[in-house]
Amino acid sequence: MSELPAGVERRRFDGEERLATEGEPVYGEPTADGWRAWDARRSKLGAMLETGMDTGLAGGETVLYLGAAAGTTVSHVADFAGATYAVEFAARPTRDLLDAAESRPRLFPLLKDARKPETYAHVVEPADVVVQDVATRGQARVANANARFLDTGGLLLAAIKARSEDVVADPSEVFERELDTLSESYELVETARLEPFHEDHLGVVARKR
């Protein structure tokens, strides 16, 4: 099992050992002594950690998070990372994201389209890590477009949802196509399916070329 980032621990909640970060609860998750359970069934990045993928996260990194939604996962990231820029396209979940950011001074919500990084390039500082959690067609292209924020060797942590690309194709074929597209901007380091936490999802760790 890979080492967890500083600020992420395994804690017991209701007799069960689970991943946890220290911060205010966001989505009704169990809490204990200021720590909040990180539900891997609601978080692809949490699932990557639970399945033992080496994400390269150490804690304190500057993070660009694409597809932040209501803040379920990005709030955990902001609990242990440095400046965390959270890009979300839809207005309704962004309202919940703003609530999650109130107690997190390092979390910066951006109501923007991750497919158009030029619209937030003037706001986001250079990042150590891009987290790709956008469940839309062209997931690899979105990751490639946002590689501009990473220095050479910067990390991409992506969760590719096969059904967002093609609802009928074999997921393995979809993953192969998306990985081929990612290789235009990144060197693949590790991939792993995210079952049993997320069906037909592939976790990807890659470095910017």
Kindly report, residue by residue over 92-141, the tens digit of the pLDDT: 999 999 999 999 999 999 999 999 999 999 999 999 999 999 989 999 99
- Residue 88, annotated ligand binder? yes
Q: pLDDT exceeding 70 applies to what percent of the chain?
A: 100
Q: Looking at the domain covering 39-208, what would its CATH class be?
A: alpha beta
Contacts 24+ apart (CB under 8 A), 165-174: 165/137, 165/138, 165/139, 171/200, 171/202
Among 180, 189, 145, residue whose Cα is nearest residue 57: 189
- Residue 133, annotated ligand binder? yes
Decide: 181 and 141 in contact? Cβ < 8 Å: yes
- Residue 61, annotated ligand binder? no
- Residue 47, annotated ligand binder? no
208-to-8, 48, 124, 151 alpha-carbon distances in Å: 25, 19, 18, 7
Mean pLDDT rounded to a whole number for the chain: 97
CA distance 30 to 139: 31
- Residue 134, annotated ligand binder? yes
- Residue 181, annotated ligand binder? no
Q: What is the pLDDT of residues 10-42, one digit of tens each?
A: 999 999 999 999 999 999 999 999 999 999 999
| Whether residue 1 has pLDDT greater than 80 | no
CA 46 vs. chain centroid, Å, equals 8
Both tokens assigned to 205: 């760790």
Residue 10: how many other CB atoms lie within 10 Å: 12
186-to-15, 42, 84, 97, 150 alpha-carbon distances in Å: 41, 26, 21, 29, 11
- Nearest-Å Rg of the Cα atoms of the chain is 16
CA distance 156 to 11: 27
Among 36, 89, 6, 43, residue whose Cα is nearest residue 203: 43
- Residue 114, annotated ligand binder? yes
- Bridge partners (DSSP) of residue 79 are none
Instruction: Parse the chain into domains and list their residue ranges.
Output: 39-208
- Bridge partners (DSSP) of residue 110 are 87
| Whether residue 184 has pLDDT greater than 70 | yes
- Residue 204, annotated ligand binder? no
